[in-house]
Chain A
């Protein structure tokens, strides 16, 4: 039940065509060294103002961190607020406001100790603030995005056991409870705070200065930040929905950081020397989603045939302009618990044809739903149609509405384009692959698979847990409903003077859009 799914462009109808590949991270590279772009160039320097351009939500934008939906919302929220934990580059939870956490033997009670931190008004961050924040998010009358993530927590039974310690009572064993603390939008706000657009108070690295929805937000360094004061004096977030406008503003020196660029833009400027291109590699999952509960995909031989039809490199080159890496029908390449040992699947049209014949599905006709809702979708659909034709499968590509696409494809159709941003593998499973998952677009509903997930969540030992996750992934690899063909780069442009931009941080992880560590040379 984690929600860090690619919050990017969903409301940006007309921009979808120009917005960059749908993704975030860079996890693929094995080694974790020399993470900083330009880290070679000198010691960090204090001072200056950085202007960062994001695609935004227009006049409806808010600074309420619990309402965060778009990348711009999250970037602003993490400048002003903190979560108890946040995701590292491999999507494992790292302590933030929480100093440590400990569970009981049965993994259904967790003791969380807060570090010493203060809000911008000087008041300490206490257990009461945490419980208030979580209860606000879980309010049944509201529809905050993080509500589903907090579902395992029994907030009525959870209580403060001290000024800085909380006992969380869970509804069932949850070995990955720290993921809940790091969930998208689970920010800690001061007790009783309800109004955030006028002088919001957080505990984050920057203090509020001004905010004009859809235009600009200016924040100033918080010298008392518990994780060390930021190097920048000020950060200004500006909103530019057109990718070309963000690039132009960056080239013209009007901003120093432009989020979400197109692969073609990146290629054009990569060696130009005017700007730096940062590629956060390999984590926006790109897929076709087969509904396993209905014909023709209720036959696992047909699903396997489709796995074998895909020429993944051609899809990456064509639909992502080469800005990405091939997938192996498993979510979360490079993340904690990823089953990296399974052989890379390649196109095998003869075997695909044989499987279809066995399944009695020769001359198969399928409708593939797509939409301009995310970059590369319509291109991927066209390429896959041609690949399928070679195996004797006729694919009819159907364009859908951008603004309601995700809702339309959840229960309808048989085959559709799909993508996802970074989240822990456990969250991908709980959100999409369990019988009672809220967004189970492949209709993967198997009691024995559910049981494996519960087993993983009840397993204290990490190695044993990893073994259970591997079993789950082997099953998905063999007969799952997600044909995951690639992972797109997430592309950021920065000015020549910008230093300290983390290059190995998937979007929505701790180090992505983390401006307290950025500095200007």
Chain B
């Protein structure tokens, strides 16, 4: 144990495995600290996003006026949108509303921001859930397979294929898959256009986007798992376990795999974060109106309340996911120590 929590001196008298069996108090304060930190991070993100959006050239009125930039019309739009008020006042109003759970209304349409988020979240969640459901078994499976056959043909095959696929940018892979599987062979629909309200009703349209989303995370995850397992299997404790006659499978799955899991779980959290917080390329390519599309439109329209609302959602999601990942990693490899 590299470090013990302050004021918990009595723990030091316990052997390492005992200390880790009593994570309750330590865990709670860890979670509380992380949540506090996360809240501060989210506030910082929102402030930063607000400042950046304000710093962009033009505002919602200019964006809406588009190629008809009649100054009088821009002034009228600005007034109708309340953009003629100072930025800090608008931010304060929005923050006050947020404390009451009110995300405000869109500048562009006057509809509630919550509706934007709710509408965009459905397709995003469907894609993320499906991708994740396939990613976990595939990523871990391939990683374990490669590690088991380290240095042999299977390992080399898995390693080179994952490296190669990882090197292909998602838009290129998307275009390739659409051209071959949808347009040439006509096995699958090329886009999900018009299915936005009922994605699950058209499962065939989801195959290609999920494939594209899966491609790179599978590679990074399996490589991480492989590397972690190879390390662990080469470690003295694995060798020791072997000497004691512990069966190979048990060494692999009960001792080596958990070691490989900790970094993999962190990576998984980052992937889920990415899946939930805007997979803009895939959404645009396959016409799936998720959160990424909402964000992109909102930035182009300088629709500050929508951008801020999304910043809050994305900030909270990121904090919660990373916290979850840290907790899991902490469980798996208590001795690694997680810094809050």
Instruction: Mark A residues whose CB is within 8 Å of B.
Output: 3, 5-7, 10-14, 51, 53, 57-62, 69, 140-143, 145, 147-148, 212-216, 236, 238-242, 244-246, 248-249, 251-252, 254-255, 400-404, 406-408, 410, 420, 438-439
Docked CA distance A145–B77 (Å): 11
Docked CA distance A7–B191 (Å): 26
- CB contacts (< 8 Å) of B44 on chain A: these are none
- Cβ contact within 8 Å between B297 and A58: yes
- Does B178 reach chain A (CB closer than 8 Å)? yes
Docked CA distance A69–B299 (Å): 18
- Does B56 reach chain A (CB closer than 8 Å)? yes
- Cβ contact within 8 Å between A248 and B190: yes
* Contact A254:B191 (CB < 8 A) given known A11-B63, A406-B65, A438-B72: yes
- Cβ contact within 8 Å between A403 and B194: no
- Cβ contact within 8 Å between A245 and B66: no
* Contact A14:B70 (CB < 8 A) given known A252-B183, A403-B63: no
- Does B175 reach chain A (CB closer than 8 Å)? yes
- 9 closest Cβ pairs, A-B complex: A404-B58, A10-B66, A58-B297, A215-B196, A438-B70, A60-B108, A248-B190, A407-B69, A252-B190
Q: In angstroms, how far is the closest chain B Cβ from the Cβ of A413?
A: 14
* Contact A406:B294 (CB < 8 A) given known A12-B300, A51-B194, A213-B109: no
Q: Quick one: closest B residue to A5, CB to CB?
A: B67
Q: CB < 8 Å: which of A61, A140, A242, A254 contacts B285?
A: A242
- Does B197 reach chain A (CB closer than 8 Å)? yes
Docked CA distance A141–B75 (Å): 11
B59-113: which have CB < 8 Å to A? 62-74, 76-77, 80, 106, 108-109, 111
Docked CA distance A496–B289 (Å): 28
Q: Quick one: closest B residue to A400, CB to CB?
A: B57
- Cβ contact within 8 Å between A245 and B73: no
- 10 further A-B contacts with Cβ under 8 Å, apart from A5-B67, A407-B74, are A10-B63, A12-B300, A142-B76, A215-B194, A248-B183, A248-B191, A252-B186, A254-B193, A407-B62, A438-B70
Can you sample 24 A-B contacts with CB below 8 Å? A5-B68, A10-B66, A13-B299, A58-B298, A60-B303, A213-B119, A214-B196, A236-B194, A238-B193, A238-B194, A245-B286, A246-B193, A248-B178, A249-B190, A249-B287, A252-B182, A255-B194, A403-B58, A404-B57, A406-B69, A407-B58, A407-B74, A438-B68, A439-B68
- Cβ contact within 8 Å between A439 and B69: yes
B283-340: which have CB < 8 Å to A? 284-287, 289, 293-294, 296-303
- Does B120 reach chain A (CB closer than 8 Å)? yes
- Cβ contact within 8 Å between A148 and B70: yes
- CB contacts (< 8 Å) of B285 on chain A: these are 242, 244-245
Docked CA distance A236–B301 (Å): 25
Docked CA distance A248–B193 (Å): 10
Q: In angstroms, how far is the closest chain B Cβ from the Cβ of A285?
A: 12
- Does B263 reach chain A (CB closer than 8 Å)? no
Q: CB < 8 Å: which of A60, A216, A242, A249 contacts B301?
A: A60
- CB contacts (< 8 Å) of B77 on chain A: these are 143
- CB contacts (< 8 Å) of B68 on chain A: these are 3, 5, 145, 148, 406, 438-439
Docked CA distance A401–B300 (Å): 10
- Cβ contact within 8 Å between A11 and B300: yes
Docked CA distance A69–B73 (Å): 14
Q: In angstroms, how far is the closest chain B Cβ from the Cβ of A434?
A: 13
- CB contacts (< 8 Å) of B293 on chain A: these are 58-59, 214, 241
Q: CB < 8 Å: which of A141, A244, A251, A438 contacts B71?
A: A438
